[in-house]
């Protein structure tokens, strides 16, 4: 799905293409394929630049889906709306809301989700909030659903993964990205440096 307006910065197109390949590989490793009309949640989504790749991966051949993105930052949510809402196909329901993604337990009328995505998760920044965010995300998954995280740096990825295991999930895939784009002002950090998938432990 092509965005209705260009991405904000040069290089994002390439980041998204790399992330798309990484996610597809991880889903294959986890032996997971989306259902006929997947319900997906993109938590702490920011501008949600990855929306097109999520739609294409979860709803191949422009099939139907429901995808909701949530972030605290209103301007980023507005930008996501303007880029993606005009781009979606009939039967594809996209929604972006400004709000606290650690409180999906309080959002009435959300369906159970087949796939929950958290790109560049921020566990390091505030473990308490992010533990709550993960707990409610795990609770919002269907029994056979998958939760995906990506991380800018290895230590944060390990901490988030440990937290998710403690919350009763089992890792389904964990892939480093050999060609992720380094952040010039942050040594050791790179775009989608790691991607991991979790499912509810049986
Ligand atoms: C590192 S940025 C990642 C943004 C986006 N997922 C991406 O990869 O470009 C972390 C995001 O988490 C959001 N965030 C942090 N705590 C949040 C919360 N409790 N609810 C919703 N969004 C939150 C911030 O507003 C920010 O957009």
Residue from 100, 121, 122 whose mutation best tests the ligand 1 pocket (most atoms within 8 A of CB): 122
Mean pLDDT of 106-122: 96
For residue 101, give the ligand 1 atom closest to its CA: 20
- pLDDT tens figures, 148-200: 999 999 999 999 999 999 999 999 999 999 899 999 999 999 999 999 999 99
C-beta 186 within 6 A of ligand 1: no
The answer to whether position 3 is within a domain reads: no
The answer to whether position 4 is within a domain reads: no
C-beta 20 within 6 A of ligand 1: no
The answer to whether position 1 is within a domain reads: no
SS3 per-residue string spanning the chain? CCCCCCCCCCCHHHHHHHHHHHHHHHHHHCCCCCCCCCEEEEECCCCCCCHHHHHHHHCHHHCCEEEEEEECCHHHHHHHHHHHHHHCCCCEEEEEEECCHHHHHHCCCCCCEEEEEECCCCCCCCHHHHHHHHHHHHHHEEEEEEEEEEECCHHHHHHHHHHHHHCCEEEEEEEECCCCCECCCCCCCECCCEEEEEEECC
The answer to whether position 5 is within a domain reads: no
Percent share of the chain, pLDDT over 70: 100
Query: What's the pLDDT score for residue 89?
Result: 92
16, pLDDT greater than 80: yes
Number of domains in the chain: 1
The answer to whether position 189 is within a domain reads: yes
C-beta 177 within 6 A of ligand 1: no
Residue 117, classified by CB atoms within 10 Å of its CB into exposed (0-12), middle (13-18) or buried (19+), is buried
Mean pLDDT of 29-55: 97
The answer to whether position 7 is within a domain reads: no
Mean pLDDT of 87-114: 96
C-beta 101 within 6 A of ligand 1: yes
Query: What's the pLDDT score for residue 50?
Result: 98
Q: Which domain holds residue 101?
A: 12-30+37-114+121-200
- pLDDT tens figures, 45-88: 999 999 999 999 999 988 999 999 999 999 999 999 999 999 99
Query: What's the pLDDT score for residue 157?
Result: 98
Query: What's the pLDDT score for residue 202?
Result: 75
Mean pLDDT (the chain, rounded) = 96
The answer to whether position 156 is within a domain reads: yes
C-beta 12 within 6 A of ligand 1: no
Q: What is the CATH number of the domain that holds 52?
A: 3.40.50.150
The answer to whether position 152 is within a domain reads: yes
146, pLDDT greater than 90: yes
């Amino acid at each position: 799905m092509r965005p209705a307006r260009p991405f904000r910065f040069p290089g994002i197109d390439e980041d998204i293409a790399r992330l798309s390949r990484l996610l597809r590989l991880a889903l294959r490793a986890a032996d997971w394929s989306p259902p006929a009309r997947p319900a997906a949640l993109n938590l702490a989504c920011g501008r949600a630049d990855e929306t097109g790749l999520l739609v294409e991966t979860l709803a191949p051949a422009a099939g139907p889906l429901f995808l909701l993105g949530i972030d605290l930052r209103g301007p980023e949510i507005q930008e996501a709306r303007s880029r993606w809402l005009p781009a979606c196909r009939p039967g594809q329901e996209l929604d972006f809301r400004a709000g606290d993604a650690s409180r999906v337990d309080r959002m009435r009328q959300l369906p159970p989700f087949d796939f929950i995505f958290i790109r560049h998760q921020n566990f390091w920044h505030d473990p308490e909030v992010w533990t709550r965010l993960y707990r409610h995300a795990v609770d919002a998954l269907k029994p056979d659903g998958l939760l995906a995280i990506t991380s800018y740096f290895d230590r944060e990825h390990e901490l988030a993964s440990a937290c998710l295991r403690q919350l009763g999930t089992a890792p389904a895939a964990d892939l480093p990205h050999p060609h992720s784009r380094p952040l010039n002002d942050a040594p050791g950090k790179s775009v989608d440096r790691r991607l991991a998938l979790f499912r509810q432990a049986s």
